[in-house]
Amino acid sequence: MKVTHSEKKITAFGGLNFYHDLFTNSGVKGLIDNHLGARVKLAGFDYSDIFSTHMSVFLAGGDSTEDANEHLRDSLKLIPNLSVCSADTILRGINELSTPLISHQSSNGTAHEFNINNKLNKLLIKALKKTNQLSTKINYTLDYDNQVIATEKYDAKMSYKKCLGYQSGISSIGDLIIAVEGRNGNSPASYKQEETLAKTFSLLEAESIQTNRFRADAASYQQQVLDLVIQKDLLFYIRAKTCANMEAQIGQIPEANWVKVRLGVQEMPACRTDREVAEIDYAPFGQDQSYRLVISRIKRKDKQANLFSGTTYKYRSIITNDELMTQKEVVSFYSSERTFDATKF
């Protein structure tokens, strides 16, 4: 063991040295200032300083912006080349980058509040490219979901989860978030979703990021979304909402067509047994165009027969225009590598 005596001050958060070096050397620091522009000269700190200080607070275990003043300031000042901002400076910088709310009124009179910050979404994609997490040479799968963020903020509205909060629209590639749209808690995920997705595709196209597949839950099961992804020439995998007509057609599938599937080493999902899959050609929304509908079923515990299918099973379906994947591959692809909840299939 070698002991070195030093009179230099040390910090318990020495790991932040590596984060700050990576933040600077990767080019993200310069990218932030170039993309967002300079602040007024009297401000004293660039946007990259604000970003770096704010991130350092949470990496050091803080849980609010004010921890930059109250608990962590002295420790953060020991990180070489880190310009430590006050909490007030961080909050002013965030306010400068904010965008006004956009209010929409639905046909039933409900007010829906959206917040769209294309400038920061563009920065997010540029940063992922800068750090080689996204490449212009790869075709990606785009995932979309809305996540309820419970909060007691003064403007939060009641969500379908029976809590006050926001319900942000999140577009992702693998585990990388590439675009966020602010929505209040009372706005259904399906509301104006095709407009949200169109913005996301435009952001990706502007940075030459290519997608060839789209995957989403039942909130995306709507004609406008299908039209958009088909226009973009994408393969899609979307949870289909059941209806009487669909269940009646499912009920006519011959028993011989149902096949038990196994994902990995366990039945899908592990907590359930006797899960089987089959498929039919199905034309959604009363249209002429039909697509593959890959269906899974499981025996009802109460053995009660479904009114429309006439069977004692529960059904869940994925609609897709992929003609090459097997039924098992469709189910496996839909259920894996998603940032949103796939455990209910």
Question: For 130-176, how does the pLDDT look when each residue is reduced to its tens digit (9 = 90+)?
Answer: 999 999 999 999 999 999 989 888 888 988 888 999 999 999 999 99
- Residue tagged 């004692």 (tokens): 312
- Domains of the chain, by residue range, sit at 16-97, 101-235, 242-345
Locate 82 and state its tokens.
């880190």
Confidence of residue 339 (pLDDT cuts 50, 70, 90): very low
What CATH number does the domain located at 101-235 have? 3.30.420
3-state secondary structure labels for all residues of 31-60: HHHHHHCCCCHHHCCCHHHHHHHHHHHHHC
Cα(188)–Cα(78) distance, integer angstroms: 46
Q: Crossing angle for the helix pair 118-130 and 193-206, nearest 10 degrees?
A: 40
Task: Considering only the C-alpha atoms of the chain, give the largest distance between any 2 of them, rounded to a whole number of Å.
Answer: 81
Cα(63)–Cα(51) distance, integer angstroms: 15
Nearest 10 degrees: Cα torsion 261, 265, 269, 272? 80
Given a cut of 50, whether residue 268 has pLDDT beyond it is: no
- Judging by DSSP bridges, how do beta strands 210-216 and 139-150 pair with one another? parallel
Cα(53)–Cα(330) distance, integer angstroms: 44
Backbone angles phi, psi at 313, to 5 degrees: -120, 155
14-73 per-position pLDDT tens digit: 788 888 889 999 999 999 999 999 887 667 899 999 999 999 999 888 888 898 888 888
Q: How far is CA 183 from CA 23, 112, 219, in A?
A: 30, 8, 15
Mean pLDDT of 320-342: 80
The answer to whether residues 202 and 114 touch, using CB atoms and an 8 Å cutoff, is no
Locate 26 and state its tokens.
């990767």
Kindly write down the DSSP assignment for every residue of 227-277, as one continuous string: HHHHHTT-EEEEEEPP-HHHHHHHHTS-GGG-EE-EETTEESSTT----EE
- Residue tagged 């025996």 (tokens): 299
- Residue tagged 């709310």 (tokens): 101
3-state secondary structure of 68: helix
Backbone angles phi, psi at 142, to 5 degrees: -95, 125
* Percentage of the chain lying above the pLDDT 70 cut: 88
Given a cut of 90, whether residue 117 has pLDDT beyond it is: yes
DSSP H helical ranges for the chain = 16-25, 28-36, 47-59, 67-70, 73-76, 87-97, 118-130, 193-206, 223-231, 244-251, 327-335
Locate 326 and state its tokens.
């097997």
Mean pLDDT of 295-308: 77
Least confident of 29-38, 265-274, 323-332: 265-274
> In the 8-state DSSP scheme, what is residue 288?
S
Confidence of residue 329 (pLDDT cuts 50, 70, 90): very high
Locate 56 and state its tokens.
């350092």
Query: How many helices (H) and strands (E) in the chain?
Result: 11, 14
